[in-house]
Structures are given as C-alpha cells and as structure tokens.
Amino acid sequence: MRDAFSSALVAAAQRDPKLLLLTGDHGYALFDPFRKACPDQYMNCGIAEQNMVGVAAGLAKAGFRPVVYGLAAFVPIRVLEQIKIDVCYEHLPVTFIGDGAGVVYAHLGTSHQSTEDIAALRAVPHVSIYSPGDRFELTACFDRIMQSSGPAYLRMGKADLGDVHAGPLAKWNGELIPVTTSNAPHLFVATGSGLKLAQKIAAAIGNADVVSVPCLKPFPEESLRRLAQRREAVVTFEEHSIYGGLGGAVAESLVGRYVGTFLRIGIPDQFSTLCGNYPFLMESHGLGLSDVENRIRKVLREHVEYQ
C-alpha cells in the first residue's frame, strides 16, 4: 500500500508543479522516488508538526497544493488544533497523510499508535476522511482527493495485508465498494485493515456479504441503508476505536431505519498496555482472527435463538 501511495504521489506531483510534499522528518525511504523525480517539491519541516501545518496553510493560500505527511499519532492527532483552525476553518486544499494508523507501531507503544484519528476528525467541519483497504483503494482515494478543492485526510496502515480487489477501481465516486454480493443474510461493513479481516471472517462463517468503506466522510449513508435492508445482522470492522469511527458512522446512518442485530468490531475503550509485534497487539485488543470469529458466531447464534 505504501508503494502505491508513493507512485500516486509522484505521478500527481509530475502533473502539478504546485503540489508540495511536507514531512515532519519521516518517510525517507518512502520518499526516495519523490525526491529523485521532484526534488524542488519536497520540504522536510523537521520534528515540528504544528509548525508544519501552519507552513502548509500558508503555502495553500499562496496557490500551492501541500501534502502533509506524518505518523497518524502526530498527523492528525498532535496537530488537531492547527488542522482545525489553520486549514479547515479556511477551507484550504491541504491533504494530510496519517501513516501507521491503528496499532501497527506495536513495539513503540501507545504514543505512536493511533486508534482515535477518525473520531477526532469526523467532528471537524470541511475535512474529508479516507481509509483505503488495499493498494487499489489507496490509489482511487488519492486520485479523488487530488480532484477535490478542500482539506482531506488519508489514513494508511503500515502493515500490508494484501490485496482485496482484483485490479484498479475505475471511476470510483466515493461510494461503498461491494467485495461480495450474494444478498446474504449478514452484511460485513469494513474499512482499512478491517477489510481483510472481514473478508476472512466471511469466508469462515459464510452467509455474509462484504462491503468496503474507503470514504468515511462524507459518509455514503444512502447506499449503506439500501444494502442493509432486509439483513439479519450488520457487523462493522475497523482498526480504530469502536467509538466515533466506522462503527459510529454506520450506527448513526442506520438508527431508526434498521432493526436487525448490529455489532462493532474494533479497538475497545482501552490503550495498548502490552508490548509485542503487530499480530500480538491485535490479539491483545480482541482482534485476532479466532477471537473475532467466535464473537460474531456467538452474536449471530443469539440472534437466531431470540427470533
């Protein structure tokens, strides 16, 4: 996914000399192709993320198209006030890239993990939020951002879990992307790394369709409502807090319109208190494959018994 981002960024910069890449002393190897292809469009602002957003806002007002890169724990979390006031209040065309979202920086602890970035930005006016699930979704998301004229946030997980789609997504319009469509009784709604998890659980349990949500804001409410009609259960998957992220957006969209079982799979209301690799951290938050499968089976079984 990171290679796809690098390729999309270089291509966009070569098309538009006004595109500038700003980084807070991160991503050196990732940006080797960019520095080689567009050396005059690269700025290392140092470990001063708040100032970097202010610089990006000034450049945007001068007619440039800044892309601000950082770890998701810093961009957007550390610079939330600057994003709100300097960029979104002015409705400036600044793109924020939050790399390593979720708990993928497992060994570095809570300070370098970001499980609240979507929730924080959903409440800030004017900013669009994207959370691609594979390299093809990332390219489609970045292309859509470059076609827009306002602030945007692109959330990337550093762990590459593999492709979900067979190839590029032509003419994606920001709506939900069906992965399986069989009119199954259960609907799995996923974003980011949660898409691969949803796909695996659906294959294990059966009787479930999977849809991807690469764009979380503006949220595709109407298409979700249509897909959720007559489903016995709707389950959301995300590597983000169960509060304020995809699960919250789906719940807000369906409240008063859906009467089936609803379950959110994500990070519970807790910090990472243990240290280990990425799979270990996911398991510590209850997001291991077997734990999630058992939990969903239990909820679906209870739904059948209640009926």
pLDDT one digit per residue (tens) for the chain, 307 residues: 889 999 999 999 999 999 999 999 987 899 999 999 999 999 999 999 999 999 999 999 999 999 999 999 999 999 999 999 999 999 999 999 999 999 999 999 999 999 999 999 999 999 999 999 999 999 999 999 999 999 999 999 876 788 999 999 988 999 999 999 888 999 999 999 999 999 999 999 999 999 999 999 999 999 999 999 999 999 999 999 999 999 999 999 999 999 899 999 999 999 999 999 999 999 999 999 999 999 999 999 886 655 5
Whether 172 is in a domain gets the answer: no
User: Across the strands, what pairs with 96?
Assistant: 68, 153
* Pair (117, 185) in one structural domain: no
Whether 127 is in a domain gets the answer: yes
* Pair (128, 198) in one structural domain: no
Q: What is the CATH number of the domain that holds 12?
A: 3.40.50.970
Is cis: bond before 39, omega within 30 of 0?
A: no
Helices (H) and strands (E) in the chain, counts: 11, 12
Whether 207 is in a domain gets the answer: yes
Q: What span, in angstroms and rounded, lies between the C-alpha atoms of 173 and 144?
A: 8
* Pair (198, 291) in one structural domain: yes
| Single residue among 91, 124, 155 that ends a domain in this structure | 155
Of 123, 137, 131, 128, nearest to 246 by C-alpha is 131
Specify the number of domains making up the chain: 2
* Pair (144, 16) in one structural domain: yes
Whether 166 is in a domain gets the answer: no
Judge residue 117's burial from the number of C-beta atoms within 10 Å of its C-beta, 0-12 exposed, 13-18 middle, 19 or more buried: buried
Whether 103 is in a domain gets the answer: yes
| Single residue among 87, 121, 155 that ends a domain in this structure | 155
Name the token pair of 174: 């920001």
* Pair (259, 149) in one structural domain: no
Q: What span, in angstroms and rounded, lies between the C-alpha atoms of 5 and 139?
A: 7
Whether 162 is in a domain gets the answer: no
Which phi and psi angles does 102 have, rounded to 5°?
A: 80, -140
Whether 222 is in a domain gets the answer: yes
Q: What span, in angstroms and rounded, lies between the C-alpha atoms of 248 and 221?
A: 12
Q: What span, in angstroms and rounded, lies between the C-alpha atoms of 32 and 162?
A: 23
Asked whether 266 and 291 are in contact (CB, 8 A), the reply is no
Name the token pair of 245: 């992220």
* Pair (188, 61) in one structural domain: no
* Pair (147, 286) in one structural domain: no
* Pair (139, 196) in one structural domain: no
Q: Which strands, in side-by-side order, build the sheet including 261-267?
A: 177-178, 208-212, 186-190, 233-241, 261-267
* Pair (208, 116) in one structural domain: no
> How many angstroms from the chain centroid is the CA of residue 156?
6
Residue type, 232: E
* Pair (105, 207) in one structural domain: no
Asked whether 234 and 258 are in contact (CB, 8 A), the reply is yes
pTM recorded for the entire structure = 0.96
* Pair (75, 143) in one structural domain: yes
Whether 302 is in a domain gets the answer: yes
Helices 246-254 and 221-228: crossing angle, nearest 10°? Answer: 70
Q: What span, in angstroms and rounded, lies between the C-alpha atoms of 163 and 143?
A: 18
Domain range for 212: 177-306
Distance between first and last Cα of the chain: 43
CA 214 vs CA 41, 62, 138, 175: distances in Å: 28, 30, 8, 8
* Pair (134, 7) in one structural domain: yes
pLDDT, residue 160, reads 76
Q: What span, in angstroms and rounded, lies between the C-alpha atoms of 189 and 225?
A: 12
Q: What span, in angstroms and rounded, lies between the C-alpha atoms of 268 and 243?
A: 8
Name the token pair of 106: 């497992």
